[in-house]
A and B are shown apart, each in its own frame.
Chain A
Amino acid sequence: MKNGLLIFSGAFATLALSWAGVVLTANNQLGSLTQYKDPVDDALYPAPLTGLANQGRLVYQDLGCVSCHTQQVRRAGFGSDIERKWGKHQSVARDYIQEMTVLIGSSRFGPDLRNVGSRIPDADYFYKLLYNPQTKFAGAPLAHGMPAYPFLFETRPVGSVQSSHKAIKTTADGKEIVPTARAQALVAYLLSLKDSYEYPEAKPFVATEKKEGGH
């Protein structure tokens, strides 16, 4: 090859091919995906995130939770996602259309969180987990390899009347540990993570058997 222009146009064509073939085709297919209207109750799925949960998504993003947690459930028979009860059905593209930032992740150093809101519908559990994952819970730490997030909590003197109903614990010297607004938003986001609705495309494909003696 002697011709600079040939190299340049070839390089252009190469990336153009992959851009058009992968990215634009996928965008064409999925870019206009809309909510699904349930034929029975006429409701639209998936529902948008609530305001607080959406703020929590930003906290999830800024703390880099995606480094260790995926948010995608693989189909039954491909990995143990369904057996581990990470979801009742596989995740499909439509599950994500309401999300401003799609955080499917690529590492499972920690468990998948796609349906953590329906698996553990307990805000208090998450506060304890975030404050100190090494807290014993049923004899074992809540999460073994997870860092603590003490900066999402504030320690303050118990008010004159009574302690805050949000306090996760009161220390011996009369102080209480209260989740900050960011912790509350993050937990609201985690609780919102549940793909309750099974879209037709998420149902496993069942091959219809050939009729006996059919031609």
Chain B
Amino acid sequence: MARDRAEQQEIDASAKWPVLVFFGSALLWLIIGGALQLAASIQLHTPAFLADCEWFTHGRIAPAAQNALVYGWGMNAGFAFALWLMARLSAAALRSAGWLMVAAVFWNLGVFLGLAGILGGYSTSYELLEMPSFASLLLLGSYLMIGVWAVTTFSVRNTEKVYASQWYILGAAFWFPWLFLVARLMLSTSPVNGVVQSIVNVWYVNGLLNLWFVPLALAAAYYFLPKILGKPIYDYYVAVIGFWWFAICSACSAGSRLIGGPVPAWVATLGSAASMLVIAAVVIIGVNLLGTLCGNFAKAQKSTTLRFIILSIVGFMLAAALNFALSVRSFAEMAQFTFIPELRDWLLLYACFSTAMFGAAYFFLPRVTGKVWRAPVLISTHYAATALGVLALTVGLVVAGWKQGHLLNLSDVNFATITNEITPWLTYRSVALMLLSIGHLAFLINFVWIACPCCSPCTTAATIKNPPEMEAHQA
């Protein structure tokens, strides 16, 4: 046991610098992306806000915010988490920290240039692929450098079993470059004809969210629940069915985003059917995760990590329910061009993925740095702001989207009326986004304290301290 622990510390330490660099840059992008998102949200109820400046017109700032949050925050945080967890679960030290840090520099350079491209007017206008081509090349190149190390760590593993979290990480590591490369080739390098472009675009967006962000969130949930609660995953044997079912169905569910659109009917029908079938996987994953949680809720509430993970599971379920509703034609007829699909995507990216990364970071950052979190009050602030913000934003966008969709379908209601009706709810959304930003700032301050080598002395006590309630189960 003592040897195990020493080994684990060695593995955690091997991931220190890559994790800090990736997670630190992720947090910076989270702040920048959050600010841009807030500005874009304000513009929807106060159109004059920043309108005079071409770089910050709504049509540029909104995709820039989205890209900053997806490629800047989301993917950087995902890299930090996945590399660390892969090393831990494979019981192998993370190699080539130097390479990873070079890749991190290029990745962030790519995101920076891409955002500058969007704000400067070189957007491609394809959702989540707005970045100009030169930035994509940097992103893809550095991704390959990063992904290869996750796979290498796995292939030199010192364990017999391959755990559920590893399936999800491996899947995600492999799916993203394919999705990205194919989408870029079929949209920018040699563009396909007509609406096939729209099909490629939704295939990419759907794949990125469901085959990259969600798997990493699930990897976190599958790891931390048993780890911290000290009991195995409930009915673990069905997890493998859940994994494949989720992967296959959500990979095919893209078409439901094009219901009623100028595409052949089978595209939307296939997508809708797959979106509905995903529910079976959500139920299986739910049995695994909620079953583990059942009876241990009070214990889970004591761990910051698990509180965030529970939030993430709730976000995952909500997004799945909303996606199911949106693939029903009669609901899509009302809701498809409103704020409701936007809410679905936001739930996947934020309520499901980002909260899982917050929870994971509260666990791995003390372990890789060998320090303790400085200010518990900032942790509570972060959690409270996140939970309230997610709730507020979900309610706000559901109401706004509902009203908007209902009024859009009444042909005698003019646009000014619709805008007036939903404006209060959009104002409310801006407030919710501000709340989330407060949480982000609290987290950033705590992160700086724990990450900066000069901020607090390295406490050996913290390194050795591995309280049983924090890490009871050897996965």
Binding site for B on A (CB under 8 A): 1-4, 7-8, 10-12, 14-15, 17-19, 21-23, 26-27, 29-33, 60-68, 70, 72, 74-75, 78-80, 83-84, 90-97, 99-111, 133-134, 140-141, 143-151
Contact = CB atoms under 8 A, between A and B. Distances in A.
B260 interface: yes
Given A11-B170, A62-B60, A145-B423, 13 more contacts: A4-B155, A4-B162, A14-B247, A18-B254, A23-B182, A64-B62, A80-B408, A101-B124, A108-B337, A145-B47, A145-B415, A145-B419, A148-B51
Contacts of B247: 10-11, 14
B240 interface: yes
Interface string B166-184: 1100110011001100100
29 contacts: A12-B174, A14-B248, A15-B178, A18-B203, A23-B182, A23-B199, A33-B194, A60-B125, A62-B121, A63-B60, A63-B121, A64-B60, A65-B59, A66-B59, A67-B62, A67-B63, A74-B260, A83-B411, A92-B262, A93-B194, A100-B191, A101-B124, A101-B191, A106-B127, A108-B408, A133-B47, A147-B47, A148-B52, A151-B54
Contacts, number: 221
Contacts of A3: 162
A22 B255 contact: yes
A210 B8 CA distance: 75
Nearest to B188: A101
B195 A104 contact: yes
B415 A111 contact: yes
Nearest to B55: A151
B94 to A, nearest CB: 17
A82 B60 CA distance: 30
Given A18-B254, A93-B264, A107-B342, A64 B58 contact: yes
B189 interface: no
Contact of B125 (A18, A29, A66, A84): A66
A19 B57 contact: no
Interface of B: 43-45, 47-48, 51-54, 57-60, 62-63, 121-127, 130, 154-155, 160-162, 166-167, 170-171, 174-175, 178-179, 182, 186, 191-200, 203, 207, 211, 240, 244, 247-248, 251-252, 254-255, 257, 260-264, 267, 270-271, 329, 333-334, 336-338, 341-342, 404, 408-411, 415-416, 419-420, 423
Given A11-B247, A15-B175, A19-B182, A144 B415 contact: yes
Contacts of A18: 203, 207, 248, 251-252, 254
SS class of chain A's interface: helix, strand, loop or mixed? loop
Contacts of A7: 162, 166-167, 170-171
Contacts of B338: 107-108
A65 B341 CA distance: 18
A26 B51 contact: no
A15 B244 CA distance: 11
Contacts of B195: 30, 93, 96, 102, 104
A133 B338 CA distance: 22
Contacts of B126: 101
B57 A63 contact: yes
A171 B175 CA distance: 57
Contacts of B52: 148, 150-151
